[in-house]
Structure 1
Amino acid sequence: MALGLDRDVLVFAFPEIHPDAVLRVEFQRTLRVPDDGRRHFLPPGLGRFPLRAVDDLDPARLPAGWKRRGGVAMPMWQAEACWLNFSSPSGYPFLLKVAAGKVNAVNGKPWDNAPDFEDQDYVEVPGQPWLDGFCVEKGVVRQFVAMPLGAGATAEEQITGRAEHGGVQLLAHPLKAALWEARLAERRRWETEECTTSIMASASSVRACVLSDMGLAPGGSIVQSIAEAQERPDAWDLSARSRCFVHLANSLAWQAIAGEAPPTVPPTAADYARAGLPWFEWYGDRPAKAGSATLAGLKSVVAFGQETGAALVPENEGFEPPEPVRLGPLARSPLEGRW
């Protein structure tokens, strides 16, 4: 197995399993949706966050624990939001676990290397094209928002009471090679019979006090489903595994850590909406997973700030939500159109 970077994309490759077994994960900069009681559509991607291998950074400049954990690092402004974009170039299936501060973003449980097939704690790629936040209820996530580790607002601190890990944790398992070969053979049969429907098409992504360590806290609500698992537990090759720790650095400290300037501060969601730019809505063809009661019980960044008196979020202006651009396999326009 191999773990690498390709133009700010994290690449999980399993050539010993199959040449097609390649998973790509990117962290997209985005707008922080207002925490105003509304359920917002999917915000756009504003470009990839820069990712740097920890081993390539000056050890003398790294926060404690980074060198030991390895992985990659990226900068985020306080209260900046992100979403994770997943793709498998060949359509090869993967089981992918995502956690923030070693709190699982799908079911809210503590990190465990082993997949939980009873209470699904992972997403399947293809099938789940992206993840914008913590799964709090069926069809709704709370946006990933960066907060300083130690301020108390991160999901990790609210659940465990400790500011120990921060960052984002990823773990991938590929499908068993024999199953993939059988599906390829079936697809070739279909293609020979001139069938134009591909059973392996993957969803495409259209959207796209200074403390150095950061974690992720729940922000505003976004309409997004976490697809229920379709593969059988025994379909996954659990003997093949690759993990990565993604360290989050406050952008104000990024120059000192990485020796380069961080990205600029993103625009506000209200400014973006006033400019008439698009939002998105995903119409998937898979049943949605129920949310986590643990994650649903977390305080959002705004609620935490109001309760503690801390000025954690510089702006939370609401706006009238626009008509979204529909994406996905079921994104057909209604027959009556728009009048």
Structure 2
Amino acid sequence: MGKGTGNDDERHEERREMITLESDRLHFRFPDVHERAECSVSFQRTLRIPDDDTPYPLPPGLGNFPLRHVDDYKSRLPAERLRRGGVLMPMHQAEAMWISFGSDFSHPAYPFAVKIATGKVCAVSGEGWTNHLNRDPQDYVVLPEQPWIDGYCVEKGVIRQFIAMPLGEGYTVEEQITGVAEHGGVQIVAYPMKAERYEAILAKHRARRRSRAQVLHSPPRVQSPSMGLAPGGLMRQEIYDDPYGLDAWDQRHASRCFVTIANSAQWMAMTGEKPPTDPPTAKQYASAGLPWFDYYDGDTEAVSGAEKFTDLSSVADLGAQKGETPLHENESLTETRVVRLAPTGPRPVREPGSS
């Protein structure tokens, strides 16, 4: 593994790859691989869709969650959180999010394979964390083909939304899959495409054009920010199959980041900042006539759902089993205005809109 915001037990030779935090977005750069090998990741606030076993379209982005360097608050964090490094992010309990991916602004964009896990359980395959890519089943998303991921891949073309819940109460995917509440948070590792493979893509692109003419780093310590992600409502979303093949990715170079999730009280105690206010409910948003979204790439095959997620209980279902109501304002929606997005030209942006 290369240098990044997470710490590895093994140290390899010095490389220049790095992760920087810029405007609440993580930027992964690999100049030793290729001058264009760069991608970014942000965490988007969004509506929590109803958890009623009805697949909904994609909700909008309501702005980035704020991110802060863990090392800036080392006097307030327990040693285990500091050892992981990375960044700190606030989420209200039962708040939803989606993860947005971006490539550099060159064309064609530099491809990446990116692994996303919550509590060290892969959001694509349901398998435990490994420091390498796996193809069968695929345990990563491919950029730029995958513009975002909103949740756990439970079946082909359907995900369950990422929902923040406390560790230790049995709701998180980590607890449901592994039986323990240990890690929480979000884990990300990015692998760039091999330079020679990208150069071949670039050469084809040029031929077609001719034919047409902040690196991541004494008050009392606060309670450990033990928040994880749990499966929420169903959403229509495809996780796309790798069109390049496992051999395309330069697994000698990788950068990893651990995102620690803090609840609103913990965030205020550590940073002195107020967290973002609660987003509107899905019902309020839909009643205002604002758009939802559908994204479909007919040229790319979707992966199947993870077998490990077959027996997952959603937050609402598990709450009912426990005699609890963890999701307030969980009413079903009968009407939504859906805007169709397609991967043509510049990458689509999901936002509330005004028309």
Please give the TM-score of this superposition, normalised by the length of structure 2. Answer: 0.86
- What's 1:88 paired with? 103
Q: Does 1:261 align with 2:277?
A: no
Q: Does 1:12 align with 2:28?
A: yes
Amino acid at match of 2:323: G
Amino acid at match of 1:278: P
- Equivalent residues of 1:36, 1:220 under 8 A apart: yes
Gaps of 5+ in 2: 1-16, 214-222, 346-355
**3-state SS of paired residue (1:79):** coil
- Equivalent residues of 1:283, 1:330 under 8 A apart: no
- Equivalent residues of 2:225, 2:260 under 8 A apart: no
Inter-partner Cα distance in structure 2 for 1:314 and 1:227: 33
Q: 1:41 to 1:5 in 2, by over 3 A?
A: same
Inter-partner Cα distance in structure 2 for 1:53 and 1:330: 36
- What's 2:317 paired with? 303
- Equivalent residues of 1:124, 1:229 under 8 A apart: yes
Inter-partner Cα distance in structure 2 for 1:266 and 1:254: 17
1:163-242 mapped onto 2 (5 Å cutoff): 163-194=181-212, 212-242=225-255
Inter-partner Cα distance in structure 2 for 1:330 and 1:186: 18
Q: Does 1:35 align with 2:51?
A: yes
**3-state SS of paired residue (1:24):** strand
Task: For residues 2-43 of structure 1, give each alpha carbon's deviation from its aligned partner in whole angstroms, at most 9, with x where no partner exists.
Answer: 111110001111011111100100000000000112100000
Query: How far off is 1:282 after superposition?
Result: 0.4
Q: Does 1:48 align with 2:64?
A: yes
Query: How far off is 1:321 after superposition?
Result: 3.2
- What's 1:151 paired with? 169
**3-state SS of paired residue (1:134):** strand
- What's 1:78 paired with? 93
**3-state SS of paired residue (2:308):** helix
**3-state SS of paired residue (1:247):** strand
- Equivalent residues of 1:152, 1:158 under 8 A apart: yes
Amino acid at match of 1:47: G
Q: 1:45 to 1:258 in 2, by over 3 A?
A: same
- Equivalent residues of 1:63, 1:213 under 8 A apart: no
Task: For residues 128-173 of structure 1, give each alpha carbon's deviation from its aligned partner in whole angstroms, at most 9, with x where no partner exists.
Answer: 1100000000000000000011111000011111110000000111
Inter-partner Cα distance in structure 1 for 2:170 and 2:78: 19
- Equivalent residues of 1:100, 1:216 under 8 A apart: yes
**3-state SS of paired residue (1:244):** strand
Gaps of 5+ in 1: 196-209, 332-339
Inter-partner Cα distance in structure 1 for 2:295 and 2:238: 8
Q: 1:287 to 1:243 in 2, by over 3 A?
A: same
**3-state SS of paired residue (1:324):** strand
Query: How far off is 1:63 after superposition?
Result: 4.2
Inter-partner Cα distance in structure 1 for 2:201 and 2:66: 36
Inter-partner Cα distance in structure 2 for 1:80 and 1:325: 23
Of residues 123, 135, 154, the one that matches 1:136 is 154
Inter-partner Cα distance in structure 1 for 2:113 and 2:282: 32
Amino acid at match of 1:34: P
- Equivalent residues of 2:158, 2:237 under 8 A apart: yes
- Equivalent residues of 1:211, 1:250 under 8 A apart: no
**3-state SS of paired residue (2:65):** coil
Inter-partner Cα distance in structure 2 for 1:61 and 1:182: 49
Query: How far off is 1:211 after superposition?
Result: 7.3
Please give the TM-score of this superposition, normalised by the length of structure 1. Answer: 0.90
